[in-house]
Amino acid sequence: MELIKSFESNKIENFWKKEWEKRGYFTQVINSKNPFFVLQLPPPNITGILHMGHAFNQTITDSLVRYHRMRKFNTIWIPGFDHAGIATQMIIERELDIKKITRQDIGRKKYIEKILEWKKKSSFNISNQMRQLGISIDWSKEYFTMNENISSVVTEVFVKLFEQGLIYRGKRIVNWDPKLNTAISDLEVVSKEEDGFIWYIRYPLADNSDFITVATTRPETIIGDTAVAVSKNDKRYTHLIGKLLKLPLCNRYIPIIEENEYIDKTFGTGCMKITPAHDFIDYIIGKKHNLPQINIFTSDAKIIEKDIIPIVYHKLDRFIARKKIINDLNNMGLLEQIKAHKILIPRGDRTGSIIEPMLTNQWFIAVNKPTPKETYFSGKSIAEVALEKIKNNEIKLIPKDWNNIYKKWLNNIEDWCISRQLWWGHQIPVWYDEDGKIYVARNEFDAQIQAGKKKIYRDEDVLDTWFSSSILPFSILGWPKKKTQEYKFYIPYSILITGFDILFFWVIRMIMMTTHFTGKIPFKKVYIHGLVRDSHGKKMSKSKNNILDPMDVINGIKLKDLIEKRVYALEDLKKINDITKITKKEFPNGISAFGADALRFTFISLSTLGRNINFDLKRCQGYRNFCNKLWNAARFVQINVLSCNYNSIEYKNINNKKIKLLKADRWIISLLQKTNLKIRKEFSNYRFDNIASAIYKFIWHEYCDWYLEIAKIQLKSNDKYCKLNTCNTLLYVLETLLRLAHPIIPFITEDLWQKIFPLKNGKINEKKKSIMVQNYPTINLNKIDKKSEKWIKQLKIYVNACRNLRGEMKLSPASRIPLYIESKNNDNYLISFFPYLQELAKLSNIKVVNALPVNSISPVIIFDNIKFMLIAKINIIEEKERISKEINKISIIINRAQKNINNEFFIKKAPKKIIVKEQERINNLSTILHKLQEQLLKFKNSNN
C-alpha cells in the first residue's frame, strides 16, 4: 500500500498504541538463555495526570526498554501507582470543603471509599496518557501500593523491624504542617528567604535589678521558653550564668544557662531564648541541660489551653497571638526595638503552610543503630550498608557526581520519622491497651492474644508514603516468599531511572530497606536526570502559569480550551485575567498537535547527563519537521523502488559479479555502520542527547540531503544493475535506520517499517509482525569503506563550492550554467565526480581547461591544484551598483560595532559573551566585505 502524502501522527499513534498491546508485545515471554533487563517505573501518584516530568522520565526509560527488547533481552518493565498519602488526602479534602463537610463528618471508612473511587478514575487517566506517549510497559504486572499483597508486606516489614529493635516510638521534635495536621519529613520542607523582623525583648532578672535583651524572630514562642542561654566566652553575660529571669507575660522563672556549642555571639544580642518543644536546636540544648519541654500549640497551630500559659492567649492562632504578645510586651515597656530582617522560612512543599517544629509522639526507624545477629549485615546499621554499596561500586550512580552528595547525606542521616497523622495510607500495625501498653502485631487477632483480656484499640496514624515505596523492589515480587520466578530473576533490577528530586526520598531508602530484608542490592545502576523547566529555565508551576500538559503538546489544544484549563477552579478575577492575558500572548493560536514522536525526540535530544532541561515548543516543531522529512524520504523510496520494478527475491538471485555497488552506495552503507556504532556506544553511556543527534544527523543531513539526491541520479541510469543496486541500498539503509530510530520515535518508525520491510525482504513473518520485535541492527565493520567516504567528502566540497559561487553571483536556482575547471591532470578520479556534480550543482556542462579565461569577471574558487569558475552572463553595471550598496551597508554595521568595542563604558559593563559576540560579528562581516571589495575591483578592472 502506497504511503499517504503527509505524515498524520494522530491516526498512526491511535492505531499502534492499541495494536502493540493487543498483540501482547509488552509482556515478555521468558527465555532463560537470554540476559534480563528488568526495571520499575517510578510509580506516579494517583493525584491526577501526567506532567512533563513524568513524560520525560518515561520517554527516556521507554527508549532503553525498546532498545533492549530488540536486542533480545528478557525485557520486563513493571508499572505501578503510588497512593500518595498527603497529596491524595489534600485533593479529597478540597472536594469535601466545597460541600462544607469534613472527613470527620463522614468517618474513616467512607472517606477511604471516596479515595478509592478517585483512584480508579485517576489511574485510568494516567495509564491512557502513558499509552498515548508510546510507553511499552507490561500492564499485566501493574500494582497499587495500597493493594492487599503490598499492604501485607508493609505490615510484615514494620513488625520485623520492631522485633529487631530498629523501630521505636518516641517523643521527639518534628516538622509539623498545621494545615495537614501531620508530621512531615525534612525532605518535604522547602525553606526560602523571606522578609521578616527581629524583635528585641527585655527579660528582667528575678530580683528586678537589671535585665538582659533577647533577639528573636518568633516572639509568640516566648510563652514556651524554659531558659536563656549565653556563652561563657561572652564577658557581657558570664556573671549572670546560673541566675534566674522573670519570663515576660508569664508567672514563671527561667534560668540563664551556659551553652557554648550553639550560641552565635554575633546574632542579635548574643543571648538565646530556649524553647525546647518548638525549635530543633533548642530541643537538643534542652535535652542536654535537662530543661522542661512545654508545648504551646494545638495541631492546627493555635495556642493550647494550659494553666502554664496566660489565659488571654488561649485558642489564638499563632500569628494573631504573635501580634497580641508584641503589643503586650510593648505596653509593659519590654519591647526594646524591632529590626527588618531576612528570614529563612520553612514551608510544607504540598501546602505552602509555614512549618511549626512540634514535640509529638511519633514512630521512627533507627537507621544508625547496629542490626541484630539474625540479619544479613549484622552489626552494621542500615545506613552504613547503604553507604557501602556505593563506596564498593556495587551500585553505580549516573552521573557519578551524585556519589559525593549521596555519601554526605547518609553520613548525616537522622532517624527516619515514619508515622503520619493522616487517614489515607497504611495504618500502623500497633495497638494499645487502656494503660497505654504497646502491642505490635500482624493483625488485630495477634495483638489481642498479646493483650490477653485487656481491651485494645489501634493506632490511628498511618505510615509515611515513602515507607511503602522504599520496599517496592521486593514487595511486588512475592517477598517474603523467596522462591518465586520474579524474585529469582528480577532483583537486582538492571537500572532505576529517576529525577534527582527523589534521590533522598526514595532511592536511598530503597537501598537501605532492600539490602536489609533481601541481602541484595535493589538495582545495579541509577540514572539520575534533571527536572523539566520552561523555555526560560524557570520551574513549571501553576503559580507561574507556565505548566505544559504533554497531552496538549501531542494532540494540540485550542486557545479557548487552553485558557479554560489554566483558570479552572480559580476564583480570583485578577488572577484569571492575568493568566488569560499571558496565555493569549504566549499561545495566540493555541498549541499545535506535534505528535508523540516529536515530543519524545525533543525530550531525548535535551537529556544531557544530570542537567535540568529547558523545554521549548520550537524544538518540538523542529522534530515534527524531522518526522515529516523521514516520512517523505520513505515515500520517495517506496515510489522509486516500485517504479523500477525492484523485486527483492529476484535481486538476491542475481550473479554477485553484477552486484557492484557504486561509491555513493558504499559510502552511505559505511556511514550507517558508524552511526549504529555511535548509537550503541551512547546507549551504553546513557547519553540520550548524543543518540538523538546521531539519528538526526544521519537521516536529515546524510541520507536525505545527500544520498537521496545522489540516488535520483543513479536511478536515471540506463544500467539495469545500477538501478537495482541503488534500490537495494535505498531499502537496506532505510529499513535499518527505522530499526535504529525505533526506540526513540516508535510510532512513525513502526508505520513506515510495515510498508518498507516487505519491499526489502518480502512477506512479514507472522510471529514478527512489528518492528519492535525485530532484531536491533547489527554492525558489519567490513562495510566501513574509507575510500568511498573520502570520495563523497570531496564531492561535497565541489558541490558546495559551486553552490557558493552561484550564491555570490546571485544566479537563479533554476538556471543551468557551465563550469570551467582549470586542471593540469585530466584524470579519471576528477572525471568520476562529473555526473553527480553536474546534477547536484545545476550545471549545463563541465569543461576541463589548461587555464581559466583571463578577462572573466566571474568569481573563482581555488582548491589544492585545481580552480573552479562558473561562466555566466552578468550585467556589469547592475552588479557593480548592487555590490557597492552591499559594501556601504556592511561598512555602516561594522563601524557601529567597532564603536561599541572602542567604548570603555561598553567594555566595562557588557557581559563577556556579548563582547565576544560583537567581535566575532565584526570579523565575519569584515571577511564578507573583503570579498565584495575584491569582486568590485574585478568589475572595475574589466571596464578598463
The torsion of the CA quartet 107, 113, 115, 119, rounded to 10 degrees, works out to 180
The CATH classification number of 176-359 equals 3.90.740.10
In the chain, list all ranges with CATH 3.30.2320. 789-874
What pLDDT does 151 receive?
Answer: 95
Which CATH fold topology does 613-757 show? Isoleucyl-tRNA Synthetase; Domain 1 (1.10.730)
d(CA 135, CA 13): 12
What pLDDT does 879 receive?
Answer: 67
The answer to whether the annotation marks 542 as part of a ligand binding site is yes
d(CA 242, CA 252): 16
Query: Is residue 944 pLDDT above 60, yes or no?
Result: no
Q: Residue 238: what residue type? A: T
Q: What is the pLDDT of residues 398-454, one digit of tens each?
A: 999 999 999 999 999 999 999 999 999 999 999 999 999 999 999 999 999 999 999
Phi, psi of 345 (to 5 degrees): -100, 125
d(CA 212, CA 242): 14
d(CA 381, CA 368): 5
What pLDDT does 914 receive?
Answer: 86
Q: What is the pLDDT of residues 274-287, one digit of tens each?
A: 999 999 999 999 99
What pLDDT does 542 receive?
Answer: 66
What pLDDT does 302 receive?
Answer: 96
d(CA 792, CA 711): 13
Query: Is residue 935 pLDDT above 80, yes or no?
Result: no
What pLDDT does 942 receive?
Answer: 62
Model confidence at 660, pLDDT cuts 50, 70, 90, reads: confident
Query: Is residue 650 pLDDT above 80, yes or no?
Result: no
In 437-542, which ranges are continuous DSSP H helix?
Answer: 444-451, 465-470, 472-475, 485-490, 508-518
Measured at the alpha carbon of residue 790, what is the angle toward residues 802 and 659, in degrees to the nearest 5?
A: 105
Q: pTM of this prediction?
A: 0.87
Query: Is residue 707 pLDDT above 60, yes or no?
Result: yes
In the chain, list all ranges with CATH 1.10.287. 877-942
d(CA 934, CA 941): 11
What pLDDT does 900 receive?
Answer: 85
What pLDDT does 502 receive?
Answer: 86
Lowest mean pLDDT among 57-71, 203-217, 803-817: 803-817
What pLDDT does 394 receive?
Answer: 97
Q: Residue 875: CB partners within 8 Å, gap ≥ 6?
A: none
What pLDDT does 647 receive?
Answer: 75
What pLDDT does 943 receive?
Answer: 59
Q: What is the mean pLDDT of residues 214-228?
A: 96
Residues 732 and 668: beta-carbon distance below 8 Å: no
Which H helix or E strand runs over 489?
Answer: helix 485-490
What pLDDT does 656 receive?
Answer: 62
What pLDDT does 794 receive?
Answer: 93
The residue with greater pLDDT, 85 or 18, is 18
DSSP annotation string for 342-367:
EEEEEEETTT-PBPEEEEEEEEEE-T
Give me the architecture of the 789-874 domain, per CATH: 2-Layer Sandwich (3.30)
The share of the chain scoring above pLDDT 70, in percent, equals 97
What pLDDT does 657 receive?
Answer: 60
Q: What is the pLDDT of residues 602-621, one digit of tens each?
A: 999 999 887 888 888 999 99
DSSP structure class, residue 370: P
In the chain, list all ranges with CATH 1.10.730.10. 613-757
Q: What is the pLDDT of residues 903-933, one digit of tens each?
A: 888 888 888 888 888 888 888 888 878 877 8
What pLDDT does 264 receive?
Answer: 84
Q: What is the mean pLDDT of residues 819-848?
A: 88
d(CA 415, CA 173): 12
The residue with greater pLDDT, 125 or 744, is 744
What pLDDT does 546 receive?
Answer: 76
d(CA 724, CA 646): 6
> How many other CB atoms are found less than 10 A from the CB of residue 746?
27
Residue corresponding to grid cell 500538559 = 549
Which CATH fold topology does 877-942 show? Helix Hairpins (1.10.287)
Q: Mean of the per-residue pLDDT values for the chain?
A: 90
Lowest mean pLDDT among 56-60, 342-346, 572-576: 572-576
Q: Per the structure block, which three cell numbers stand in for 707?
A: 544520498
DSSP β-ladder status, 36-40 and 74-78: parallel
Q: What is the mean pLDDT of residues 534-551?
A: 79
Q: What is the pLDDT of residues 714-742, one digit of tens each?
A: 999 888 888 889 999 999 999 999 999 99
Query: Is residue 825 pLDDT above 90, yes or no?
Result: no
Q: Is 209 exposed, middle or buried (0-12, 13-18, 19+ CB in 10 A)?
A: exposed
Could you give the angle at which helices 596-606 and 746-761 cross, rounded to 10 degrees?
Answer: 110
